[in-house]
Amino acid sequence: MRRLILPALAAIACASAAHADDPKPRPVFTEDGTVKVPAFELPPSAFLSPEALAQQKARARMGLPIMDSSRGEMSAVEARKALARYLQPQVDRYLKMFAVDVSETTIAGVPARIVAPKGGKADPKRVLINLHGGAFSTCWESCSLIESVPIAGTGNFRVISVNYRMGPEARHPAGLEDVEKVYRDLLKRYKPSQIGVFGCSAGGALTAQLGAWLPKRGLPQPAALGIFGAGGLRFGAGDSAWIASAIDGSFAGPAKPGEKAIDMTKGYFDGADMGDDVLSPALHPAVIAKFPPSLVITGTRAMDMTPAIFTNSKLLEAGVRSTLIVGEGMGHCYIYSEDLPEAKAAWQVIVRHFRENLK
C-alpha cells in the first residue's frame, strides 16, 4: 500500500508544481464563495448538429438576436414593432412549413389566436393553451405563432394562444387573470384532463405561475404543463444568469452593486414579491407538489438553465412526474429555431408529452 501511495503523492506534487509555473489564468476563490473567473475561449460543443454548428458560426455575422436585452431601453411600442419586423421572415417560414389555419378570436373578453391543422384535422378531445414569450412586454404578434404553429402542425393539436395583458400597460397578476378567463371558458367544453398549457421564456414562466395560481382560485389543474425557456423561479438568479450573459450575449447579466438593471418587463412585476408562492412556486414545496406532469426544456447556454433545472428537481422531490431536456450547446428558447434538428426533436417530445398526459 505504501508503495502505491508514495508515487501518487509524488505525481500530485509534480502536477502542483507544473500548475505553479503555468501562465494560464486560473479561477480565484474568495472568502464569500465568489469565484473570479478568468477570460477564456469557449468552442462550440462537439455534440452540436451540423445545423447548430453552422448557426454558432453565423453568430460572427449576425445582427440583432431573437431576444436582446437592449430592447429594455426601447419603449414598449418600439420594441414590439422592432421584434415583429425582425421575426416576420421566420413566421412566414413556419406558415409554409406547416399546413395550419390561423384565426383571430376573443375568448371570455380576452384576445386570442387559434392555430389548428388545416381541414379540421385537429384532435377533437385535446386542446392546448399557449402563453407566448416576450419578457412580459412584447412579441405577441410573432412568438405566439412561432410557438404554436409547429406544435399544432406536428401534433394535430388545436392551440389557443392567449394575448394576455403585459407591461407597461398592466401589472402582475393581469396575465394570470387573462389566462384564467380563457381556461374557465375551455372548461365548459373540455375536461381538465383534456387541456394542456405551454409557453417559452415569459410564457414558460407564466405557465409555471399558472400551476400555482389555479389551485388558489379553486380550479382544477390542466392535464400537463410545458415550461420551456423558464422555470418556477424568477429570472436573473443563479449560475446560469451570470454564465449566459458572458457566453451568449442576448441578455445582460445580473446588475452589479450601483448598476441599474434593465427591466425588459416594462414594470410588469413592479411591487410584486418575486419569491412568493405564485411567482416562484419552486421555492414552495406544498405549492409545486400540486403541479400536473410537466415537461421542462432549457439549454446549457441559456440564462434560464438554473430556473429550469431547479424547478425540475423540486417537482421530482415533490413526487410530481417531470421530464427535463437540456439542449447541449443550446441557448434561450432554442426550440424557436426551425432549422435545428435539436428543435425538431424537442417538438416531437412536446407532442408526445401532451398526447400521453391528455386523455
pLDDT, one tens digit per residue, over 57-90 is 988 776 545 444 444 567 889 889 999 999 999 9
Could you state, in order of their start, the residue ranges of all structural domains in the chain? 60-119+127-252+261-357
Specify the pTM: 0.90
Q: 291 near 315, Cβ under 8 Å? A: yes
DSSP 242-307: HHHHHHT-SS--PPPTTPPPP-TTTTTTTT--TTSTTT-GGG-HHHHTT--SEEEEEETT-TTHHH
If one looks up domain 60-119+127-252+261-357 in CATH, what number appears? 3.40.50.1820
- DSSP letter for 223, please: S
Its sign, for the CA torsion 339, 341, 343, 348, is positive
Please give the pLDDT value at position 67: 46
Q: Say yes or no to pLDDT of 41 above 60.
A: yes
Q: How far is CA 348 from CA 68, 97, 181, 352, in A?
A: 28, 15, 29, 6
pLDDT interval class at 120 (50, 70, 90): confident
pLDDT interval class at 7 (50, 70, 90): very low
Q: What percent of the chain has pLDDT over 70?
A: 90
The rounded Cα 93 to chain-centroid distance in angstroms is: 22
Q: What is the mean pLDDT of residues 212-239?
A: 95
Q: What is the mean pLDDT of residues 117-142?
A: 94
Planar angle of CA 49, 351, 303, nearest 5 degrees: 55
Mean pLDDT of the residues in the chain: 90
Please give the pLDDT value at position 19: 52
What is the spatial distance between Cα 13 and Cα 100, in angstroms, rounded to a whole number?
A: 66
Query: Which amino acid appears at position 292 of this protein?
Result: P
- Say which residue the cell 410564457 belongs to: 203
Please give the pLDDT value at position 11: 47
The rounded Cα 274 to chain-centroid distance in angstroms is: 17
Q: Say yes or no to pLDDT of 1 above 70.
A: no
Q: From 37, 176, 52, 162, select the one nearest 107 (Cα to Cα).
A: 162
3-state class of 114 per DSSP?
strand
Q: What is the mean pLDDT of residues 331-346?
A: 96
Please give the pLDDT value at position 134: 95
Q: 13: left (phi > 0), else alpha (psi -120 to 50), else beta?
A: alpha
Its sign, for the CA torsion 182, 143, 244, 54, is positive
CA trace torsion 227, 232, 236, 239 (10° rounding):
-90
Q: What is the mean pLDDT of residues 14-24?
A: 55
